[in-house]
Amino acid sequence: MGHPFPIREIARQAGLSEATVDRVLNHRGGVRESTAREVHRAMADLDRQRTQVRLVGRTFMVDIVMQAPERFSTAVRAALEAELPSLHPAVVRSRFHFRETGPAQELVAVLDRIGRRGSQGVILKAPDVPEVTAAVGRLAAAGVPVVTLVTDLPASARVGYVGSDNRAAGATAAYLVGQWLADRPGHVLTSISSGFFRNEEEREMGFRSAMRARYPGRALVEIAEGQGLDATQYDLVRAALDRDPDIRAVYSIGGGNIATLRAFEDAGRECAVFVAHDLDHDNTRLLREHRLSAVLHHDLRHDLREACHVVMRAHGALPPAGPTLPSAIQVVTPYNMPPGPVAG
């Protein structure tokens, strides 16, 4: 079997003779199964220690580029900074490039500037448009690995995606809304911040598909392009409520939930069920106040840690690994909120 360690080093790690290790590695027999397991365990230990040695003294400068409402970018910054100690013995330094909205060309200019200046990696949340895909390709050509965060760019040259399965999240929201509305009449308002973010599009598709399958008689009313910002979201929701007197529930895919609730209150309407995404500061408070029914949450700290690991693997500082698994979707209610401050 192939391995990168001298037999003498394996024997020393396992506390066995070189002859015993040689018999195990070359399948010569005459060795107890427990002894063979000790040899393989020693090799695994050596591999981990070699990884640590490769990381000692390594500094990775990572750029986090995001188009998102301030409440979410703040949660991402907090999650990354909380995870930095777990990445030792490597040192990860971060530069943040956040904006709430704007034309894609401005985001492309940021990515191109990073490519010219140099970076060990980019963690990116961006709309899935051709200009951004092309900019990711230029970064890859310059040797800068790009990891997409919470929303993917599958046609790009990114090295990996970290985040949840967004179709499954949307289907989960449909299950919750349908169960809680039960036999009560009412239409469901779905709200996305922008049709250019793949994660929101996939959540919406998962929601619609599950609603059609389980609750075919329930009408869905869509609003879009509020950018997750309270100022624009309020007007969109209030207009939808004025047009449709039967809206009784909300599936908020893209945020702006304070404004959505204020629009219901100002219209003198009840929101019987409200399912949202992400335990940012706004949603945490709204959930504690029982103004949201549930928040679909995934662990941003886990996502940021995994994103940094993907960058390290791209530079050969960590051993190769299989595809990154989607983050677990947690259904958080006012009665099972995580203790302490939440970043995500």
Q: Using alpha carbons, select from 227, 144, 199 the residue that is nearest to residue 327.
A: 199
DSSP helix/strand/coil, 183: coil
Task: Count Cβ atoms below 10 Å from residue 314 Cβ, excluding itself.
Answer: 19
* Sign (positive or negative) of CA dihedral 275, 281, 286, 288: positive
pLDDT in tens, the chain (344 residues): 456 778 888 887 778 899 998 888 888 888 888 899 888 888 887 776 565 545 666 788 899 999 998 888 998 999 999 998 888 777 888 889 999 888 999 999 999 999 998 999 999 999 999 999 999 999 999 999 999 999 999 999 999 999 999 999 999 999 999 999 999 999 999 999 887 889 999 999 999 999 999 999 999 999 998 787 788 899 999 999 999 999 999 999 988 999 999 999 999 999 999 999 999 889 999 999 999 999 999 999 999 999 999 999 999 888 888 888 999 999 999 999 987 644 44
Compute how many other C-beta atoms are within 10 angstroms of the C-beta atom of residue 210.
20
The rounded distance, in Å, linking the Cα atoms of 264 and 131 is: 38
Strands laid side by side in the 146-149 sheet: 91-99, 59-67, 121-125, 146-149, 160-162
- Please tell me the number of Cα atoms within 13 Å of 160 on its side-chain side: 25
- Any alpha helices (H) in the chain, and if so which ranges? 7-14, 18-25, 33-55, 70-83, 104-117, 130-141, 166-181, 198-214, 230-243, 257-266, 281-288, 300-314
Strand duo 330-332 + 294-297: pairing: antiparallel
The tokens of 171 are what? 């289907």
Please state the pTM of the whole predicted model. 0.78
* Residue 48, CA distances (Å) to 243, 277, 317 in order: 61, 37, 11
Please tell me whether residue 338 adopts helix, strand or coil conformation.
Answer: coil
Measured between alpha carbons, how far is residue 304 from residues 162, 202, 226, 309, 341 in Å? 8, 21, 26, 9, 17
CB 170 within 8 A of CB 210: yes
Is residue 248 within 8 Å of residue 183, measured between CB atoms?
no
